[in-house]
Amino acid sequence: MNLTHRQLVRARENFGMLRIGQLAVYALFLTTVSQAAAQDLQISSYVNSSVIGLNQQFELSVELSGSDANSAPQPDVPNLDAFASYVGSGTSTSMELINGRMSVSKTYTHHFIATQAGTFEIPSVSVTYRGKTYTSDPIKVQVQKGRAPSNRRSPATGRRRQSQSEDLSNTLFLKATVDKSRVYQNEAVTITYKIYTAVNVSNYGISQLPNTVGFWTEDFELPKRPRLYDQVVDGRQFKVAEIKKVAIFPQGPGEKTLDPLEIECEVQLRRQRSNRDIFDNFFNDPFFGRTVRRTLRSNPIKIDVLPLPDRGKPVNFSGAVGTYSIAATVDKEQVKTNEAVALKIVISGSGNVKIVPEPQLNLPADFEVYDPKITEKISRNGAAISGSRTFEHVLIPRFPGHQTIKPISFSYFDITSKSYKVLQTAPIDIQVAKGDDQFVSAATVNSKEDVKFIGQDIRFIQMRLPEFERRGIVFYKRAWFFVLLFAPMLLSGMALGYRRHLDKLSGNVAYARNRKANKMAMQRLRKARQFMTRNQQQEFYGEVSNALLGFVGDKFNVAAAGLIADQVDEVLKSSGVGQEVRSAYLGCLHNCDYQRFAASDSNNGEMKAFYEKAKQALITLDREI
Amino acid sequence: MLRPVGMFVFCLLLTPGVGARGATATPDTLFNKGNEFFQAGNYEKAIAEYQKILSAGFESWQVYYNIGNAYFKQGDIAHAILNFERAKKLEPENEDVNYNLEFATLKTVDRIQELPRFFGAALFDRLSHAISMRVFGILALSIYATLFALLILRILAKSVFGGKGMKAAIVISGICLFLFGSLFVARVYEAETTIAAIVLVDKVDIKSAPDAAGTDVFTLHSGVKVRIEDKSLDWVKIRLADGKVGWMHGTGLAVI
């Protein structure tokens, strides 16, 4: 019989199913195993069946394992003469590499035939190596008449049913262990789920996780290949694999029960020796073996959760349990106004880091503060769940000056000393210089205004006696307003009338004529122009003459009717009109008289030229006066 | 002939509040009494004294301001805001009034973001609220009167006032009249067409229609300033500074 364990521990994570290739290749029926004290050599013995049929052959295997297994001497064949006769022996050696360590096992297989019915004890086997004796445990066997029942099955039952009914409860089970069963609220409890197997488990997957209402849970990170080790339980050697390790943090006090974990696994059973059925023979081909599905449930876990003591509870305590430390840093201690400063607070330690609350900041009012960015780092590799929670605040100083971030405190319940502890950071000083830009983003205006009033009160009442006014009708609907609105218009109208009246009374014709002089002159010129177009020579010159004389008459309030050129010259001279202007003006007048009374016809072009000349003379005179 | 008329006009212009003072000394004593109560911390009695001035038919921004302070000290933020707003209406650019109003507004629940406005409109609004309406009116009227006084002078004594300087003075006062007149008219128009009010009830659900069974559009809390745009029986249509519109029962409001 080949007892080599080819533990090709090919584990691969696949949709949550861990696949273990050939876990624990041991014989179908193991018996006692003993482990020697020495690390480098172990001896164990076992039989292929603890119930043996009379006159049937059975195997007793003695296995030496450890790094010295090869060099150790061969143990003696135990004397079983009381109930069996010795047939022969064989040896097999296997080497395996587990986690980088070479392990050798050498197995001596002795074949016997049972000759007596009854219960017997196979004595312990011992070997002496380097002065030390290693001994295996004795094994109890039962020899029955007829065939051993466990190896048989009735031909009526099908393969499947047979496999379902196969009892593996003693060779394959799931066990949950806790590191402590009495804890404080929020204290970590580590639960380890282990598969114990003496059969070949090819595949397993968790089919049902325990209901964790009332607990925070945090899974430990386990190696992808579960580490296997040997353990003897009730005289049987098992391969043990840790398949799940979890830390739970009970949320409330009281007695808590955690439901069992359920896993489903595929077990490879060795082929059955049956010659009755062709199909059975085919399916029970030694190369395939038989695969059976099994559901394993762990034991439920009971935890007694104690409430946290009220004595000495800090005011700002918010439920953190474990061991922690706190640190606060800023990225720069010298900034300009409106420049961002990052304040980083790190709370780290072992415990449920995820429920560590945001520490209360005690910031100067001149800082604008934004909601923190919270990051968690959780380490699941060690003996306990630990990690850190980081709070990154962005602060923007709005005003220059020396600012101090007061110590930030954090309190927790310390598990080791079973008391509350308060941690405080050191105060942080920040020197704020005046920045060059005064820009404040629109989004921050509100909070800035809110900040402005922190620690202030409204302004005091007015103490000086005010000027009281009549309530009720607004002033612009009052009579005096309308009086003031219309009085100026009325007054100016009155003034205008009064002015006219005065003019009339004083009979100041000169003023009136003066005002009208230009107008009249222009009217006369226009009339003259009409005559010109009609080529009425006499009328034309007459009208121009009237315009020129009339203008002077009006301006200086002399009667135009009796005005002659000499008089005009005198009047103009007395009012300081220059020689040139005067002579031009008088020249025009003389020309008018000459042309009016001359018989000769002057042509139209001449008239036009004279018209322009006269007009120019008028304008020049008007400017001069 | 000219002088008495001018004197008369200017006297009227410069002493607008002349009628209020002197009729009785009661407002002064009431005001002082109110201040004494306030300083003694008896805010309720202080408010009562100040209110007596108002019910006697007199007012001043200081009275409203002090009433607002007394309400604030009592913790009645909505009434404080109402009275600060009334003081602001009479004295728009007073620092104390604006400070206390802003401070009280920060104690209210609702934060209402004013809608952004066109730059020109905002500037005009600022200008037209730079001084109280009364001062605006007096200024506009004075310029108006000055303009006409100049015109009358020109009419009556052209030989003396007919020069170019006079002409420039008339043009300048005409421009000033246009500026101040339009700002004043805008203020009067605003005062006549917009009614602002403060929510006094702790919490009120604003409906989509003037009906108690109407859908709730939003919720307001005490101290919020709203504009009344319409009325239907006991219901008023309100508009917030951020443009939200809805109906509420008029009993929860007090007009500024």
Quickly list DSSP for B141-160: HHHHHHHHHHHHHHHH-HHH
Average of per-residue pLDDT across A234-242: 80
List residues bridging with A265 in a β-sheet: A204, A294
More confident residue, A514 or B62: B62
What is the rounded (10 degree) CA torsion for A240, A241, A242, A243?
Answer: -140
Pick from A484, A485, A492: CB nearest B151: A492
Can you tell me the distance from the alpha carbon of B202 to that of B75, in angstroms, rounded to the nearest whole number? 13
Encode pLDDT of B89-133 as tens digits: 888 888 999 999 988 988 887 778 777 777 888 888 888 888 888
Average pLDDT of chain A is: 76
Encode pLDDT of A133-160 as tens digits: 888 888 888 888 765 444 433 333 334 4
How many residues in total does chain A contain?
Answer: 625
Pick from B59, B99, B155: CB nearest A499: B155
Pick from A449, A463, A476: CB nearest B137: A476
| pLDDT score of B180 more than 50 | yes
- Does B111 contact A at CB distance below 8 Å? yes
The model's pTM is: 0.39
pLDDT of residue B198: 93
Interface test with B, best of A476, A480, A489, A490 (most B CBs within 10 A): A476
Encode pLDDT of A336-395 as tens digits: 878 888 899 999 998 888 888 888 887 776 788 888 888 888 888 777 888 899 999 888
pLDDT of residue A50: 78
Average of per-residue pLDDT across A40-69: 80
Average of per-residue pLDDT across A227-246: 81
| pLDDT score of A13 more than 80 | no
With beta carbons under 8 A apart, name residues in chain A contacting B65.
461-462
Amino acid type, A445: V
A469–B156 C-beta distance less than 8 A: no
Can you tell me the distance from the alpha carbon of A454 to that of A368, in angstroms, rounded to the nearest whole number? 12
CA distance A443 to chain B (A): 11
- Does B53 contact A at CB distance below 8 Å? yes
A550 pLDDT tier (thresholds 50, 70, 90): confident
B37 pLDDT tier (thresholds 50, 70, 90): very high
With beta carbons under 8 A apart, name residues in chain A contacting B13.
484
Non-local CB neighbours of A223 within 8 Å, separated by 6+ positions: none
CA distance A464 to chain B (A): 9
% chain A with pLDDT above 70 = 79
- Does A455 contact B at CB distance below 8 Å? no
pLDDT of residue A474: 78
- Does A499 contact B at CB distance below 8 Å? yes
Average of per-residue pLDDT across A124-135: 84
Nearest C-alpha neighbor of A124 from the set A72, A49, A30, A60: A60
CA distance A533 to chain B (A): 41
Pick from A449, A470, A492: CB nearest B152: A492
Q: What's the CATH fold of domain A325-410+419-452?
A: Immunoglobulin-like (2.60.40)
- Does A461 contact B at CB distance below 8 Å? yes
B106–A469 C-beta distance less than 8 A: no
pLDDT of residue B171: 92
A505 pLDDT tier (thresholds 50, 70, 90): low
| pLDDT score of A42 more than 90 | no
Non-local CB neighbours of B238 within 8 Å, separated by 6+ positions: B197, B206, B226, B227, B228, B229, B245, B246, B247, B248, B253
Interface test with A, best of B139, B148, B190 (most A CBs within 10 A): B148
CA nearest to B24 within chain A: A468
Average of per-residue pLDDT across A510-526: 79
pLDDT of residue B85: 93
A436 pLDDT tier (thresholds 50, 70, 90): low
**Portion 75-104 of B in contact with A at CB < 8 A:** 96, 99-100, 102-104
| pLDDT score of B160 more than 80 | no
B111–A446 C-beta distance less than 8 A: yes
**Portion 6-25 of B in contact with A at CB < 8 A:** 9, 12-13, 16-17, 19-21
% chain B with pLDDT above 90 = 33
- Of the ranges A304-318, A344-358, A556-570, which one carries the lowest mean pLDDT score? A556-570
Listing DSSP states for A3-41 in one string gives ---------EEETTEEE-SSB----SS-------SSSS-
Interface test with A, best of B15, B31, B114, B187 (most A CBs within 10 A): B31
- Of the ranges A63-67, A562-566, B19-23, B49-53, which one carries the lowest mean pLDDT score? B19-23
A459–B106 C-beta distance less than 8 A: no
- Does A472 contact B at CB distance below 8 Å? yes
- Of the ranges A41-45, A416-420, B10-14, which one carries the lowest mean pLDDT score? B10-14
B80 pLDDT tier (thresholds 50, 70, 90): very high
Encode pLDDT of A454-498 as tens digits: 557 888 888 888 888 888 777 888 888 888 889 889 998 998 888
| pLDDT score of A274 more than 90 | no
CA distance A399 to chain B (A): 20
CA nearest to A451 within chain B: B106
With beta carbons under 8 A apart, name residues in chain B contacting A477.
none
B99–A474 C-beta distance less than 8 A: no
CATH 1.10.287, applies to A172-305 = no
% chain A with pLDDT above 90 = 3
A470–B57 C-beta distance less than 8 A: yes
| Domain A31-150, CATH homologous superfamily name and number | Immunoglobulins (2.60.40.10)
A458–B72 C-beta distance less than 8 A: yes
Cβ-Cβ contacts under 8 Å between A and B: the total is 115
pLDDT of residue A451: 52
- Does B186 contact A at CB distance below 8 Å? no
With beta carbons under 8 A apart, name residues in chain A contacting B47.
none
Non-local CB neighbours of B4 within 8 Å, separated by 6+ positions: none
pLDDT of residue B21: 44
A254 pLDDT tier (thresholds 50, 70, 90): confident
With beta carbons under 8 A apart, name residues in chain B contacting A450.
106
More confident residue, A204 or B149: B149
Amino acid type, A265: C
Task: Tell me the CA distances in angstroms from A543 to A252, A535, A554, A581, A611, one per residue in order.
Answer: 124, 13, 16, 21, 11
What is the complex's ipTM, to 2 decimals?
Answer: 0.72
Non-local CB neighbours of A231 within 8 Å, separated by 6+ positions: A196, A237, A238, A240
B46 pLDDT tier (thresholds 50, 70, 90): very high
Instruction: Return the DSSP state at A435.
Output: P
With beta carbons under 8 A apart, name residues in chain A contacting B59.
468-471
A266 pLDDT tier (thresholds 50, 70, 90): confident
Average of per-residue pLDDT across A97-122: 79
pLDDT of residue A602: 64
Cβ atoms B174, B147 nearer than 8 A = yes
List residues bridging with B228 in a β-sheet: B195, B238
Can you tell me the distance from the alpha carbon of A200 to that of A172, in angstroms, rounded to the nearest whole number? 9
